[in-house]
Structure 1
Amino acid sequence: MSETAAPSDVSRYEQACDQAIAMCDGNMRSTIKALIMANEYLEAEMEQLQAAASTGRGAAKRLRAKDDAA
């Protein structure tokens, strides 16, 4: 990261880290594993949404072209 976080962001991130670690009973390895798994899930969800959005845009263009032709 090239940008520095604002002080309010830092405290928010610290609190989020503390919560994640607490949820994993203080086990740092489990915390990291859970965060990696959550990130992978979110990446897969984002890919699905992007695919659906691109398909939707294509369908909208086809509908407009069909309407224009009529």
Structure 2
Amino acid sequence: MSAPPSLSDNNRYEQACDQAIAMCDGNLRSTIKALIMANEYLETELEELQAAISAGCVPTQPLRTSSTAA
């Protein structure tokens, strides 16, 4: 079981929520829809990576990550 979010984590989550809502012009339904779509995309990516690993495929280049992702 993971530890509860710290105060700094909570502040980061609050900022991420504010940013997501702002990106959807304050429309909460659109914000939720966009987050669900992003989650589904990431789940698909994860499944594809897990299948590739199971098949013995290894990426030729390290995966690039963004430290600014919300």
Please report the TM-score for the alignment, with normalisation by the length of structure 1.
0.76
User: Of Structure 1 and Structure 2, which has the larger fraction of its residues in helix?
Assistant: 1
Structure 2 segments unaligned to the other structure (5+ residues): 58-70
- How many equivalent residue pairs? 57
Matching residue's letter, 1:15: Q
Q: How many angstroms apart in 1 are the aligned matches of 2:12 and 2:2?
A: 19
Cα RMSD between the aligned structures?
1.7
> Which consecutive unaligned segments of at least 5 residues does structure 1 have?
58-70
Q: Percent identity?
A: 75
Query: Higher relative contact order at CA 8 Å, sep ≥6: structure 1 or structure 2?
Result: 2
Q: Distance in 2 between matches of 1:32 and 1:25?
A: 12
Greater gyration radius:
1
The match for 1:48 is 48
Cα deviation, residue 3, structure 1: 3.9
**Residues 1-70 of structure 1: pairs in structure 2 closer than 5 A:** 3-56=3-56
Q: Distance in 2 between matches of 1:3 and 1:27?
A: 32
